[in-house]
Structure 1
């Protein structure tokens, strides 16, 4: 498993620190799944369309928890399952994720976010305001696009 501490980072450059903590493909997709569709359990993350391998998912969840981005607690309804939620440190990644969404929508004409024209328009006009609103939603256990 990948670990990062002050002793083993490649450099203390701020960009490098971010890349080492959340710069791999899977970490941001786990965060995306929490923020956008409210996933909370290992099984829910495993069903993501990108097809993460079970060992990679377990490793990324443990790493994100170790880094203080996720917290894990037993599911109140089923003690055999754990709920993963974003910590305040994790919530602070929401503006980054939303800016990636804006960038991707600009350059990927098939981007899913374009399907939600109202959300995309609001995010384009007021990214910081939307980021704060989304942080509050996720902090309260909600998500941007709850499944009906």
Structure 2
């Protein structure tokens, strides 16, 4: 694949050359306010793609091996993943609704950790994990043990 070739729709989205399934650009999604991040449920699969289907959003994109490889080696896609990680960390630091025993954001966090691990690297996933678990600890550790276990397993070597 040539350096400027697009390997799939998520790769195009992350390199600012395509739109997500709802017709939004990466900058539009990254510009969501906190209420949109909380209330819109079809964007996280585009910001943090996985190689397995979403159970929460049928029809959400799934990346194959070639697209994952292209994303791993594309500096634009890597920058987008890093920017998305920063936006989501800001969201979790600024909002407290996810800091309870059960919340849909716990699944999102597992997705983010897994996507970062697979597409950016284990160290990036571990940094996100440490910041999220620190927020949980600072709030008195309200997140259920099962979610914490999923998060821990996502960043094991």
Give the structure-1-normalised TM-score.
0.34
- Greater strand share, structure number: 1
Q: Which has the higher contact order (CA 8 A, sep 6+)?
A: 1
